Structure 1
Amino acid sequence: MMGPPITELTDRARDVFRIVVESYLDTGAPVGSRTISKVSALNLSPASIRNVMQDLEELGLLAAPHTSAGRMPTDMGLRLFVDGMMQAHEPSLEERSAIEREAGQGGPVDAAIAGTTAALSGLSACAGLVLVPKREPVLRQMGFVPLAQDKALAVLVGTDGTVENRVIDLPPGLPPGALEQAANYLSAMLAGQTLSEARARLSAEIARERAELDAAGRALVERGLAVWSEDGDQRPVLIVRGQARLVDSAAAEDLERVRQLLDELEGKQEIARLLDSARQGDAARIFIGSENKLFALSGSSVIAKPVRALDGRVVGVVGVIGPTRLNYARVVPMVDFTAATLARLLA
C-alpha cells in the first residue's frame, strides 16, 4: 500500500493533511473543513479547505466515513504521516522513571519483564507486548517411557516442579534396559543444569570417553536433550499486559472492532509471528491497520522494536498494540526507550 511521496503534495495540502491527521489522532473523530478554518492559521475559507480535502481523498490519504461527515486519515494516510511528517516526542522523566522502576525492581526476571510491559501499557494507553525466548528449564529428573518399538515419551521434570512430555524417535537396535540406563544417567549426572548446559557437558563427557553409556544409550540421551532444546528455541514466550486499556470511551462506539482485536490477542501465536518479523534492523517497526492481514478487521496498529544485547544479539521484541489512531509521535519513542531498558535486563 503506497501513497504519493510527501514531496508531491503542495504546501497547502500538507498543512491541511497534517491538521486532519493530528486532530483525528487526538480525538478519534472525523475533522470538518469548518473546524480546520477555526482552529488553524491557514487563512483559507471552509470552501477552499473542502477542495483540498477532496484532493487528498482522491489520492487515497483521507476518507469520509459518512456523506455529511468530515474526513479522517486512511491507513495509507497514516503511513504517509508517520514516515514523512511525524515529529517524535521523547518520553518525559516521569515516564522513563516508571519504566526503569519496573525493570529494576529485583526478583525473578519474568516478573520484571511483565512489570515493565505493564508500565509501557499504562503509559501508552495500549496493550503492552513483549516477546522473549522461552527460558530453559533446569533439570531435576528426566525419564523415558516406551510407547512403541520405535518411539518413546521423554519426560522432563524441572526444579520448579514443571513436568513436560515429548515423543521422540528411538535409535534402531536399542537393547533392553537402554531407556532405564539413559534415564538414570541423565538424572544422576545432569540434574541442576539447563538443557544447553546438559548438552555441553554430555558432549564433553563423550569426547573424553567418560560417559557411562554405550553407543545406543548416548544416542538416546542426545535425542532426548535435543528435542527439548529445539522446542525451547522455537517457542518464544509472548507476554501481553493491559488488554483492558483497549476498551476506552471511543472504543465503546465500535464494540465489534474491540471484540475482534481481543480475539486476535487470544491467538498469541499469530501475534508472536508478527513481533518476530520486527527482529531485523534497529528501528521500531510500525504496522498500521490493513497493512497486516491479522489486523485488517480490527483496525489496529502495532509498534514493535527489537531488544538487542550489548553484543548485538536480539534477545526479544517489545511493543504495543492499539487502535490506528494512537499517538505515534509519543508512543514510538516510548517503545524505543522500553527496548533499551529491557536490553539491560535480558542481556
Structure 2
Amino acid sequence: MNLELDSRNTHLLNSLIRMYIEQGEPVGSRTLARHSQLELSPATIRNVMSDLEDLGLISAPHTSAGRIPTAMGYRVFVDSLLKVDSLGSPFKAVESSLSEDTDPSTLLARASTMLSEMTQFAGVVMLPGQTVSRLKQVEFVSLNDKRVLAILVTADGRVQNRVLLTEREYTPSELIEAANYFNDLHGGSTLAEVRKKLVLEMRSAGEKMHNMVQTATTMAAELLAEEENDGGDVVLSGQENLLNVPELCQIDKLQKLFNTLRAKQDLLDLLDRSMKVSGVSIFIGEESGYESLGDCSVITAPYESDGEVIGTLGVVGPTRMSYGQVISVVNVTSKLLSTALSTKSA
C-alpha cells in the first residue's frame, strides 16, 4: 500500500496505534496531543485524525469519541512504521525447548506450544504433507498370523507405523529384500511422487510383477494410503487464550473463530499460501480472505528441513497485538525449528 503521509501524519498514526495496542482503549485528540511529543493543539490533532479517518486508516467506534486503527491502518503501521522487537531473554527458552534431543513430532508440538506461551495467543504449526515430505526409508518386520509391521520414516524424521494383513507368511529375509528394493528405487522422493509411481507400477506390471517387487509395492502402497489420510494437519495450542481478548469476546465472533480453528481447513489453506513466501507473512483482518478471521491477525513463517521448506508455523491473535514482539517470536521459532529438524534428519 502506497499512501502519501507527511511526517506529522505518520508520527501521529504511529503514536495512536501504539497507544491503542498498549491500552486497548480508543484514543482521543487530547490524549494523543499529550503523548505524541509534538507541540500541537488538540484542534490541530483533530484535523489530522480526520484526515487519517478519511484515508481509512482509523475509525470511530460507535460508543466513543476516540479513534482506533482499522485493518488498513495496521497494514501501514506494519509495513512502514514498525520496528521488530528483539526477543531478548525469552529466546533462550525457545532455543532450549526446540534443541533438546527428541523426535520431530514432539518438536513440532513444542513449537506450537512455545508460540502460544510466548504471545498468549493461539500457536499453530502445519505438519509436513505428502507434497513436501520425502521418503527416507521403509522397513517391514514379520509378526505372526500373516501380519507385517510396516514402518515409514520421512527425511524430516516423522515415523508412521501400520500393521498390514498379508496373504501369506513372509520370512525376515524376504521382507528385508523387499524393503531394500523399495528404498533404492524411491528413497529421496516425496511421498506424493512415490504414490504416483506405485500406482503406475501396479497398473503396468500386473500379474507379471516379480514376487519380491509385488510384495514391496503392495505393502508400501497400503502404508502410504494411511499416511495420506493422516497428513496435512495442524498442531494447535492455546486457542483458549483468545477467550481473554476483549475484541473477540462477542459470542458470535468467538463461535465463528473457534469453528474455523476446529475445522482447520481454512487455516490450512492460509498456512499453505504462506509456504510459498520466504520470511514472515502477516495477514491482517480481512486480508486472510476468511470472514471468521476478520477481527484477527495471523503471523506466519515457513520452516525447513535441510534447506527445503516443509511446513509453516504461526500465531493467530487479535488485530490489536504487539506486532513487533509477535513477528520476532514467529521468526525466531521458525529458524530454531528448522535447525532442530535439519539436525534430526542428518
Residue 346 of structure 1 corresponds to 341
> How far has the Cα of 1:342 moved from its partner?
0.2
**Structure 1 residue 294 displacement after superposition:** 2.2
Aligned to 2:270: 274
Give the superposition deviation at 1:302.
Answer: 0.8
Deviation at 1:282, TM superposition (A): 2.3
- Equivalent residue for 2:100, pick from 105, 118, 122: 105
Once the two structures are TM-superposed, the CA of residue 202 in structure 1 deviates from its matched residue by: 6.5
Aligned partner of residue 12 in structure 1, secondary structure:
helix
Deviation at 1:335, TM superposition (A): 0.8
1:111 corresponds to which letter in structure 2? T
Distance 1:191 1:300 in 2: 53
Would the alpha carbon gap of residues 282 and 186 (structure 1) be closer, same or farther in structure 2, given more than 3 Å must change? farther
Correspondence 1:285 to 2:268: no
Q: How does 1:1-347 map to 2 (within 5 A)?
A: 3=1, 5-6=2-3, 8-66=4-62, 68-92=64-88, 94-133=89-128, 139-140=140-141, 163=162, 180=167, 184=170, 188-189=174-175, 199-201=182-184, 214-215=208-209, 218=213, 221-222=216-217, 225-226=220-221, 228-229=223-224, 232=227, 235-248=231-244, 250-251=246-247, 253-296=249-292, 298-310=294-306, 312-347=307-342
Contact 1:261 1:298 in 2 (8 A): no
Task: Give the 3 Å change call, closer, same or farther, for CA 252–98 of structure 1 in structure 2.
Answer: same
Asked if the contact 1:139/1:191 (under 8 Å) is kept, the reply is no
Q: 1:35 to 1:319 in 2, by over 3 A?
A: same
- Where structure 1 has 5 or more consecutive residues not aligned to the other structure, the ranges are 143-154, 166-178, 205-212
Query: For residues 135-188 of structure 1, what are the alpha-carbon distances to aligned partners after superposition, in whole Å with 9 as ceiling and x for unaligned?
Result: 88865579xxxxxxxxxxxx97659996589xxxxxxxxxxxxx726x848995
Instruction: Give the whole-Å Cα distance in 1 for the aligned partners of 2:234 and 2:41.
Output: 51
Structure 1 residue 288, shift from structure 2 partner = 0.8
Letter in 2 for 1:76: M
Q: 1:17-48 CA distances to partner (integer Å, 9 max, x unpaired)? A: 11111112222222111210122222222222
**Higher mean displacement: 216-225 or 330-339:** 216-225
Contact 2:17–2:74 (8 Å) recurs in 1: yes
| Structure 2 unpaired stretches of 5+ | 153-158, 188-206
Q: In the TM superposition, what is the alpha-carbon distance from 1:281 to its structure 2 partner?
A: 3.3
Provide closer, same or farther for how the CA distance between residues 291 and 187 of structure 1 changes in structure 2, counting only shifts above 3 A: farther
Instruction: Label 1:190 to 1:243 Cα distance change in 2 as closer, same or farther (>3 A).
Output: farther
> What is the CA distance between 1:102 and its match in structure 2?
1.2
- Against the structure 1 CA distance between its residues 185 and 43, is the aligned structure 2 distance closer, same or farther, given a 3 Å change threshold? farther
Structure 2 contact 26–64 (Cα < 8 Å) conserved? no
Aligned amino acid, residue 30 of structure 1: P
Tell me the distance in 1 between the aligned counterparts of 2:173 and 2:295: 51
Name the amino acid aligned to 1:96: F
Let me know the Cα RMSD of the aligned residues: 3.7
Aligned length: 308
Q: TM-score, normalised by structure 2?
A: 0.76
Q: Secondary structure at the match of 1:101?
A: helix
Aligned-partner Cα distance in 1 for 2:75–2:305? 30
Identity between Structure 1 and Structure 2 (%) = 31
